[in-house]
Amino acid sequence: MFGVEILLLTILIITVTIYKKNWVPVSPPFYSTGKLVKIGHRGAPSLAHENTLDSFRKAIDTGMDGIELDVQFSADKKLVVYHDWSVECDSGEIELIKNLSCSEIQKISLNGNEQNKIPLLADVLDVLNKKIIINIEIKSAHIINTNIEKNVLELIKTYGFENNCVISSFNPFIIRRIKKIDPKILTAFLWSKNDPQFIINTPLWVWICRPDGFHADIDYLDEQLINWATRKNMSILTFTVMTKKQLIKSQLWGLDGVFMEDPYLN
């Protein structure tokens, strides 16, 4: 494990040295509205179970500008919309999502409620209109290519969401591969000091993935970090806004948008 981290550090240093040029982040037109864009974090969890179709519908119905969701592979390489790496099955057993087939996952009732099912990404795209912003967080701890990026992009294009979609990840290698597959797709690097995927946890991973946006944990976002991201022309959003005080702070900072769970917070 230590050897892997040394390798990652070496890659990061080399990339920062070589790739500082020719990186021009694109600012999405939907962030240039002069207002703070409000994205429903996993839908509207204050009104319905997170990352369910009901949650996404409620986020749309209450007037959110967009929705955010998490996607990861099932054992049979289906794009499952679920945040945690593991899930409690109806039997009470805790299983990793990546070890369960799609059919097994779709039998699970979240919190014992038959209405709370884990959807596929295609199911969510089916209920969205083309005016809404969709932020897809790809969850994968792999450095090597698993093709999850390719599958997500193919589905986005099939449903016609490529012009109002942002793909984000805590994994810089995910974003890097997205940009290689399709440079026109908008991307964002996620950053927090909590539960880092790699021991080397730094915003400087942007030099690896060269994203269009920087999405940071509000508990660790400050003016210095905002100024740093602004100088690089990245759009800046923060997660997860839970209180009115945090919302006001985000507005005063002049951020492009926020991820929030309560559509009625204002």
Residue pLDDT, tens place only, 106-116: 999 898 777 89
What domains appear along the chain, each with residue ranges and CATH number?
Answer: 2-8+31-83+119-260 (3.20.20.190)
pLDDT of residue 20: 58
pLDDT of residue 241: 98
Calculate the CA 128 to chain-centre distance.
17
pLDDT of residue 168: 98
pLDDT of residue 21: 63
pLDDT of residue 111: 81
pLDDT of residue 90: 82
pTM for the predicted model, two decimal places: 0.91
pLDDT of residue 8: 64
pLDDT of residue 210: 96
Largest CA distance in the chain: 53
**Encoded amino acid at 145, one letter:** N
Q: Which residues of the chain have pLDDT under 50?
A: none
pLDDT of residue 252: 96
**Encoded amino acid at 170, one letter:** F
